[in-house]
Amino acid sequence: MSGGSVANLTALAAARHIRLQDNMQGAVVYCSDQTHSSIERGLQVMGFNPTQLRKLLSDNAYRLPLPDLRRAVAEDRAAEKTPFCVIANAGTTNTGAVDPLPELAEFCHEEGLWLHADGAYGAPAVLYDKGRVLLEGLGDVDSLSLDPHKWLFQPYEIGCVLVRKTHWLKETFHILPEYLKDIAKGEEEINFCDYGIQLTRSFRALKLWMSLNIFGIEAFRTAVARGFALAELAEETLRKSASWQVVTAAQMGIVTFRFVREGWTPTKLDAINQHIVDEMIANGFAMISTTSLRGRIVLRLCTINPRTTEEDVRETIRRLESFGHYLSSQQ
């Protein structure tokens, strides 16, 4: 696919067709408040009303809470709505959190719900032992999206969607106009227009295939492991300083944290954390971003670039802390 967004859209289209036979009236999709915006956009493109997406408040680990999901599905069934799909996160963009995949798979099987896992960021972490543990249950979902331009280090335009049964995609997308009948000669012929939105498309998978053949799977496994290790190093470095609060521990190559000052209001701390990132971007040494967790601005460090060194991580934190001290002295 062209990216993770279209991979998610393709999976959702299959879920709608297989579970609803394209009758969207009263249908409901469930996700957490940490789910990527491409899910909401994809549902809108497909014609779902915004009220048909139920965003549930994530738990203290920023995961989709199963008890709340059970309650929401029961409420909607009682209201004569049609629950049909649950979106699980296999590594959120914000914090790297992984939803409880085994429990969600069991629940969805019991309830007859489609379980889609958005693994655009985190799914490739199954290459590494720690990632495989975090992603236990990933093989039990009905569909999975991943985006190799992230943790498989590829250029853009290489999204991927996997579904449990191949015929689900063909049932969803196969249309045979008269001007294409000459190419429909047998089941052995693979026409990708039967498996997604595009009729004509480039050979996007070639770059990943070549990378795997040239570098080997062990090189990718080592790079993923290094992403984990650098995030853990960042967390360890942050915890040694009283200037930082670690908001979410290192997981899946991501750590979030916040510059703190005793006696400062949360709003004032929000402002200085935003200014720290602005200063770092202007400085140009490293790219770091902010995000919002529980309404508060936090700094987010994602350490998956295979060229990043341990010294790069330490120096980035040192500079961030220096910016923080300077800016707070000006208040």
Identify the pLDDT of residue 193: 87
Residue matched to tokens 């909401």: 40
Identify the pLDDT of residue 236: 98
Identify the pLDDT of residue 200: 87
Beta pairing class for 296-302 and 82-89: unpaired
Q: What is the pLDDT of residues 37-48, one digit of tens each?
A: 999 999 999 999
Residue 187 has pLDDT above 70, yes or no: no
Hey, what are 198's tokens? 């595009």
Contact 10, 197 (CB under 8 A): yes
Residue 185 has pLDDT above 80, yes or no: no
Question: Could you tell me the pLDDT band of residue 186, with boundaries at 50, 70 and 90?
Answer: low
Residue 189 has pLDDT above 80, yes or no: no
Helix axes 101-111 and 66-78, enclosed angle (nearest 10): 20
Q: Indicate the domain borders of the chain.
A: 4-209, 218-329
Contact 269, 258 (CB under 8 A): yes
Alpha helices in 187-331 (DSSP H): 205-215, 217-239, 266-283, 310-329
Residue 103 has pLDDT above 90, yes or no: yes
Identify the pLDDT of residue 166: 87
- Distance in angstroms (rounded) separating the CA atoms of residues 106 and 51: 26
Task: Give this prediction's pTM.
Answer: 0.93
Q: What top-level class would CATH report for the domain 218-329?
A: alpha beta
Q: What is the pLDDT of residues 149-184, one digit of tens each?
A: 999 999 999 999 999 998 999 999 988 666 666 666
Contact 90, 122 (CB under 8 A): yes
Residue range 126-134: mean pLDDT, rounded: 97
For residue 243, which of 226, 225, 224, 264 has the smallest C-alpha distance?
264
CATH code of the domain made up of 4-209: 3.40.640.10
Contact 108, 137 (CB under 8 A): no
Instruction: Identify the H or E element spanning 161.
Output: strand 160-163
Q: What is the pLDDT of residues 208-221, one digit of tens each?
A: 999 999 999 999 99
Residues 6+ apart with CB under 8 A from 164: 141, 142, 143
Q: What is the pLDDT of residues 54-69, one digit of tens each?
A: 999 999 999 999 999 9
Identify the pLDDT of residue 180: 64
CA angle 251, 256, 259 (to 5 degrees): 150
Identify the pLDDT of residue 149: 93
CATH fold match for the domains 4-209 and 218-329: no
Residue matched to tokens 């004509």: 200
